[in-house]
Amino acid sequence: MKVALVTPRDTPSAIILPIACVNEHDDIQSEVSSISALGSPQVSIPKPSPNHLPDWHEVQKLLDGRALLPDELPFSYKKLEAFIRHGYVHMQPGIHIRPRLKCARCGNNQKHWFSRYSCAWCDSACLYCRACISMGRVASCSPLFTWKGPALSRKKARAGVLAWRGQLSPLQQRAADRITQTIKQSRSSELLVWAVCGAGKTEMLFPGISRGLKEGKRVLIATPRTDVVLELLPRLRQAFPTTALAGLYGGSEERFSYGQLVVATTHQTRRFQDAFDVAIIDEVDAFPYRFDESLAYAVKKATRKNAATIYLTATPDDQLRKRCESKDAVIRVNRRFHGFPLPVPAFQWCGDWRKALSRARLPKGFSDWAFQQLATKRQALIFVPSIQTAEVLCEVLRQRERSIASVHAGGPERKEIVENFRNGEMPMLVTTTILERGVTIYGIDVGVLGAEDEVFTVSALVQIAGRAGRSAEDPDGKVTFFHYGKTKAMNRCRQQILTMNGKGGA
């Protein structure tokens, strides 16, 4: 997009305008250029004066707390001309050229993640960021549209109404009190909630979220995976029925809806900027958040200066744990909400399982377990290390029971298949690590085939074991790791679960 730095008539400060919006009354201060070449001029925050601008509430609702590309606007950028001229909407460079290359959306500053393409807008070779290309191309000529006018007014009392009437356990209540205390603070603060799988972390959040909403704060719950967003949305809608709530993930119809309470994948937070007073990061140790610095940057960019940040996990990494412990900002919940201990995984050698599957056979040991599960009509969730393994194992199992299915990250019907399994419509579900966390299904046993594979880290195995025994009515779900040789990760997982159960090294 070609832009120019201009000083409009009767306006003391210069602004950046698309060249299509420049008229004869504007004093042009620069040559026509890409926005990255002009930089970002100082913008004074205007006084609220919405009455004379059409579509005020539509534009404000879309852009407040967001930074969007022209292609993401549901209307022509010409519609924003009056807002830009009055200082309510600001155009900032999508890529900063100086002092060093940096993508303003994802924070990428590694040269090898930038490339050039022939740009039809500029009729030149423009730089673009490859690190966040999946969410739309940010180029050196791409502006990001942001809101600089007054923030949306928030209906405090109505938004904070909590309809959930459940009761927290003493351990849950202690954690909920710390969460609420952290959210109440008016300065930047953080808290690590270190809670075992099945501790009831979502319910612990309810009092704090309610308090924040009542104070007019905007709350973000960010999680690395779409499945977790889909799991949380109905529970939060039930708990906060009068709150403007948006669920954001790839393909979501609500991606550009306003929410005072927002549940989003960490990737979707890249579109936000200075939006939230509270950021709750669920499963902070999970892939891809833990291994992609740009996602941590995105969540940080999405929050305001004095925001509260709350981390939820059963398996924190050492860096996060030590940082929060140094601030006395850790609360531990070592029991599940129903008070029963975590299932301790059993180890079962199964030989060369890959060779067995290549011959369309079930591995030794695993076959006995699988047939026993089918005979007793006890549902089982089976984790495998790869998509290919999931598909092959599923086909072999389907020779015995046709309703068995498999799911993985690229599966188009994943949501429906998981829901069918939850409803008891199939005895077994084969999955990759996509379902290792955030998905609650009651009354199941869990098996891991190929538990020695490197994809099954300590944290992954702890999370997988945590899928069993989720309800008070059925707390004794069995967990079995089928392997072709024990690994340190398997042993450390078992030891960690024993420790959390209060058994020490026993």
Based on the fold, state whether residues 115 and 209 are members of the same structural domain. Answer: no
Based on the fold, state whether residues 131 and 32 are members of the same structural domain. Answer: yes
Weakest mean pLDDT among 146-155, 235-244, 315-324, 373-382: 146-155
- Note the pLDDT of residue 44: 57
Mean pLDDT of 375-383: 97
| 175-193 per-position pLDDT tens digit | 999 999 999 998 899 999 9
Residue 505 lies in a domain: no
Residue 505 has pLDDT above 50, yes or no: no
Based on the fold, state whether residues 41 and 183 are members of the same structural domain. Answer: no
CATH of the domain at 396: 3.40.50.300
Based on the fold, state whether residues 214 and 298 are members of the same structural domain. Answer: yes
Domain C-terminal end among 333, 368, 393: 333
Based on the fold, state whether residues 263 and 351 are members of the same structural domain. Answer: no
Residue 278 lies in a domain: yes
Residue 341 lies in a domain: no
- Note the pLDDT of residue 250: 87
Asked if residue 3 lies in contact with residue 35, where contact means CB atoms within 8 angstroms, the answer is yes
Residue 338 lies in a domain: no
- Note the pLDDT of residue 310: 98
| 464-498 per-position pLDDT tens digit | 999 999 998 999 999 999 999 999 999 999 999 99
Domain count, the chain: 3
Residue 352 lies in a domain: yes
- Note the pLDDT of residue 209: 97
Q: Which domain holds residue 57?
A: 3-147
User: What is the signed CA dihedral for 26, 69, 297, 178, rounded to 10 degrees?
Assistant: 100
- Note the pLDDT of residue 401: 96
- Note the pLDDT of residue 394: 98
| Range of 4-18, 223-237, 420-434 with top mean pLDDT | 420-434
**pTM of the entire predicted model:** 0.84
Count CB-CB contacts under 10 A for residue 163. Answer: 13
Based on the fold, state whether residues 176 and 323 are members of the same structural domain. Answer: yes
Residue 339 lies in a domain: no
Asked if residue 311 lies in contact with residue 222, where contact means CB atoms within 8 angstroms, the answer is no
Based on the fold, state whether residues 142 and 170 are members of the same structural domain. Answer: no
Based on the fold, state whether residues 321 and 350 are members of the same structural domain. Answer: no
CA 202 to chain centre: 15
Domain C-terminal end among 85, 113, 147: 147
Q: Strand ranges (DSSP E) for 373-434? A: 380-383, 405-407, 428-431
Based on the fold, state whether residues 308 and 372 are members of the same structural domain. Answer: no
The pLDDT confidence band at residue 423, using thresholds 50, 70 and 90, is very high
- Note the pLDDT of residue 3: 73
- Note the pLDDT of residue 157: 54
Q: Which residue has the higher pLDDT, 328 or 283?
A: 328
Angle between helices 201-214 and 226-239 (to 10 degrees): 60
Average pLDDT, the chain: 89
| 439-448 per-position pLDDT tens digit | 889 999 999 9
Mean pLDDT of 355-370: 97
Residue 220 lies in a domain: yes
Mean pLDDT of 265-274: 95
Based on the fold, state whether residues 276 and 203 are members of the same structural domain. Answer: yes
Reference 193, options 261, 306, 285, 298; nearest CA is 285
Q: How far apart are CA 506 and CA 503, in angstroms?
A: 6
